[in-house]
Amino acid sequence: MEKSKPHYNLDEIKASFSDPDNLGTMTGSARNGIRALKSSDEDVANVVQSLSMREFHKSMTSFVTIRFGKMFICRCIKESSFT
């Protein structure tokens, strides 16, 4: 099913991830992934703050496995200048 508008407000997400000392909205799995990448909460906050709407594309229902998303996130963190 194709989606024509974002389901979440990027400004609200950025506000939720603005303080590296208060990232309570991250799941345990996300925290484990960040640690496995040898990254910090500050790295997470910096990456989220650097996002802009132009980096997002039309959302469509995906039948690709979850591994694709994990590979994409890992690549973004490794290529960022925050680590």
- Determine if the pTM surpasses 0.95: no
- Closest to 24 (Cα-Cα) out of 46, 47, 41: 41
Q: Is the pLDDT of residue 83 over 50?
A: no
CB < 8 Å & 24+ apart, contacts of 51-57: 51/10, 51/13, 51/14, 52/10, 53/6, 53/10, 56/6, 56/10
Residues 6+ apart with CB under 8 A from 57: none
Q: Is the pLDDT of residue 57 over 80?
A: no
Q: Which residue has the tokens 């469509």?
A: 60
Torsion of CA 56, 43, 23, 27, to 10 degrees: 70
Q: How confident is the model at residue 49 (pLDDT cuts 50, 70, 90)?
A: very high
Domain ranges (residues) in the chain: 10-79
Q: Model confidence over 5-40: pLDDT tens digits?
A: 777 788 988 998 888 888 877 888 988 998 999 999
